Amino acid sequence: MKKYILVIGCYFTATFAIGQQSDSPLNILPAPVKSVRTIGNFKVPKNISIEAPSLVALQPTLQFLKQRLSIPTGFNVLIKNQSSAAPIKLILNKKADPLIGKEGYHLSVTPSTVTLSANEAAGLFYGVQSLVQLLPAAIENSQVASSNLWQIPCVEITDYPRFGWRGLMFDVSRHFFTKQEVKDFIDQMARYKFNLLHWHLTDDEGWRIEIKSLPALTTKGSMRVDKTGYFGTFWPPLPNEPLNYGGFYTQEDIKEVVQYAKDRFVDILPEIDVPGHSLAAIVAYPELSGTAGAENYRVRSGEKIMDWQKEGSFSALVDNTLCPANEKVYTFLDKVFTEVATLFPFEYIHVGGDECAKNFWENNDAVKSLMKQEGLHSMHEVQSYFEKRVGKIINSKGKKIIGWDEILEGGLAENAAVMSWRGEKGGIEAANLKHEVVMSPTTFTYLDFMQGDAIIEPRVYATLRLNKTYEFEPVPLGADPKYIKGGQANIWTEQITNTRHLQYMTWPRAFAVAESVWSPKEKKNWNNFVQRVEQQFKRYDIREINYARSMYDPIFTCTNNNGEPLISLSTEIEGLDIYYSFDNSFPDRFYPKYTSALTPPKDAVQLRTIVYKGNQPIGRMITMPIDEINKRTGIKKPAPPEE
Ligand code: ACM
């Protein structure tokens, strides 16, 4: 593999030196469909004139381009509707080019001109993102950056997305994120050609969207007790503890965010998660529960709420479900969805449907009568009855319904789209039933999972490394591809309390998802992707956006070798060296270099590692206790005698 890198390296060098042509993604992420490096560079002039259509929908894109070209350079930028002399031209095709569709673009950079053309404004927006990525990283500065060569490599790019649904799901219920933080998130995702924000607005831990006809949802349902630690293990809130954590978006806020997203060609899919995950709604309106005593419930603050017995089997400790046999529930949902449908122009509304515990329904007389009356034979069919009624409500507002793959169980509502999260099975099944599908399987796209070893990452119950995320293939084997609308990554925020950590969990794994949903499958190349990720890291450093460097950390594989632990170390990325110590001191590249599996010295208490690229430390100093290694291998060692 090293040989391969060397060959590529020589090829790039030759390309730049003598101007040969090559199809390489350059620094563009996600990789374009076709990009050919041609001879020379376009030197950005000190007085930049740009010709661009005066379309209203394009104005934010032009403002973005103007800011990038003027702030870090100190150059003057003038945008005109008509200027035959302008060296930079943005053009809307008079006759649509069917190859590039609604979101694609052509970008041609020669030593004297930059020409970006598209069928629609969205295509110009994406072309501008690629153009900015072709400029030096310093273009991201928020003040004049001195001594930079402001030039764009000459290229011919044709680019368009593989999928129309390129999403990120953002949970603002478990932890609340302000309107500005949501806008920042949209800004970041749009740079990488994501076009869908799935906004998880309600859950057991808080109702975050103002519904004017149901004010208690936000006056009562949006606040909980503030807790710090490991979410999911907190003490239940005491009656006298203040409800001092929360927040919600007013309808004016929502409109503002929707417009902000639209300006960046991002649609917003609102999620109202029912009938499970509904504790906040029940706190506001206890009559929606089928369980006595619901008026004493409190919005969840991170205490245990579910009893997970084994995969697929669980029961709720408090009844966090809406009662499917209560007509008031449907009246309530009609009110909610009436307002939601007015606020969000997107054609779908997400109705949740996931992880709905059935243990309280099983003991509910009203549910039992409903089953008799409707001829329902199982709790899955009861949920299906609920989903079908919700589907009708949503359709009556002129919207389509989408839900988590549990809505398949017991029979899918007519026209319902399915978001496949429990692996790929639900997506395959729904696609083959000719229902639209969005793939977001835990196996590849759950960005709340740890991205490296639990010894250094903030603890979550599962791990998903960058290289595994990069393997995300939105069309699963066995599914009719016609029904796969695309894919998305999900960012649940139980363990994400602030925006810096949100960034850490999102990037770089969202880069991998962006490439999976935008770029042609055959364009994906892990080694090349890593190089482009590193280019984005430089930009994130300048923009002061946080990201995880976990891809540089070693992978510890511990085995039991006849009662002795054996530790194998590897890395996700090629070309890195791991140095280590067992003597408690901090290793650097003058320490032993890892070459083969290690057996700790008998009395060692910890293994410390550090990863280098050449002579630069690049990973984090990791301390792995030998006790932890023994635990992982099932080895039990007696403690040495004490003095
Ligand atoms: C989910 O992760 N509960 C959809």
Q: What is the pLDDT of residues 212-270, one digit of tens each?
A: 999 999 999 999 999 999 999 999 999 889 999 999 999 999 999 999 999 999 999 99
Catalytic site residue 355?
yes
The pLDDT value given to residue 283? 98
The pLDDT value given to residue 21? 55
Rounded average pLDDT over 603-631: 97
Residue nearest to atom 1 of ligand 1 (CA): 354
**Residues with Cβ < 8 Å from 336, sequence gap 6 or more?**
211, 214, 217, 272
The pLDDT value given to residue 147? 66
Same domain? 402 vs 265: yes
pLDDT grade for 3, boundaries at 50, 70 and 90: very low
**Whole-angstrom distance, CA of residue 451 vs CA of residue 427:** 25
Burial of 333 (0-12, 13-18, 19+ CB in 10 A): buried
Which of 115-129, 159-173, 594-608, 629-643 bottoms out in mean pLDDT, i.e. has the lowest? Answer: 629-643
Is 403 inside a domain boundary? yes
Angle at 491 (CA atoms; ends 417, 498), nearest 5 degrees: 145
- Residues near ligand 1 with C-beta < 6 Å? 354-355, 404, 421
**Whole-angstrom distance, CA of residue 629 vs CA of residue 643:** 25
Q: What is the chain's alpha carbon radius of gyration, rounded to the nearest angstrom?
A: 27
Same domain? 346 vs 458: yes
**Whole-angstrom distance, CA of residue 275 vs CA of residue 281:** 10
User: Residue 19 pLDDT > 70, yes or no?
Assistant: no
CATH of the domain at 402: 3.20.20.80
Is 641 inside a domain boundary? no
The helix/strand/coil state of 210 is: coil
Same domain? 425 vs 563: no
Rounded average pLDDT over 20-47: 89
Is 639 inside a domain boundary? no
Choice between 33 and 310, residue whose per-residue pLDDT is larger: 33
Rounded average pLDDT over 151-177: 98
- The answer to whether the peptide bond before residue 32 is cis (omega within 30 degrees of 0) is no
User: Are 217 and 280 spatial neighbours (Cβ–Cβ below 8 Å)?
Assistant: yes
Query: Which of 125, 159, 193 is the endpoint of a domain?
Result: 159
Is 526 inside a domain boundary? no
Is 533 inside a domain boundary? no
Is 77 inside a domain boundary? yes
The pLDDT value given to residue 7? 39
Same domain? 357 vs 466: yes
Instruction: Identify the sign of the CA torsion 27, 28, 30, 33.
Output: negative
Catalytic residue, from 203, 424, 429, 572: name it: 203
CATH of the domain at 55: 3.30.379.10
pLDDT digits (tens, 9 = 90+) for 412-454: 999 999 999 999 999 999 999 999 999 999 999 999 999 999 9
pLDDT digits (tens, 9 = 90+) for 196-213: 999 999 999 999 999 999
Q: 437-454 burial, b if ≥16 CB within 10 A, otherwise e?
A: bbbbbebbbbbbbbbbbe
Same domain? 497 vs 581: no
Same domain? 181 vs 217: yes
Is 541 inside a domain boundary? no
Instruction: Give the nearest ligand 1 atom to 419 CA.
Output: 4
Same domain? 134 vs 178: no
| SS3 per residue for 256-275 | HHHHHHHHCCCEEEEEEEEC
Host domain of residue 53:
2-159
Is 643 inside a domain boundary? no
Tell me how far the alpha carbon of residue 205 lies from the centroid of ligand 1, in angstroms: 14
Query: Which of 106, 140, 159 is the endpoint of a domain?
Result: 159
Tell me how far the alpha carbon of residue 265 lies from the centroid of ligand 1, in angstroms: 26
Instruction: Give the nearest ligand 1 atom to 492 CA.
Output: 2
pLDDT grade for 22, boundaries at 50, 70 and 90: low
Angle at 199 (CA atoms; ends 541, 221), nearest 5 degrees: 115
Same domain? 179 vs 133: no
pLDDT digits (tens, 9 = 90+) for 354-381: 999 999 999 999 999 999 999 999 999 9
Percent of the chain with pLDDT over 70: 95
Task: Calculate the alpha carbon distances from 221 to 215, 276, 370 in Å.
Answer: 9, 15, 28
Strand partners, 345: none
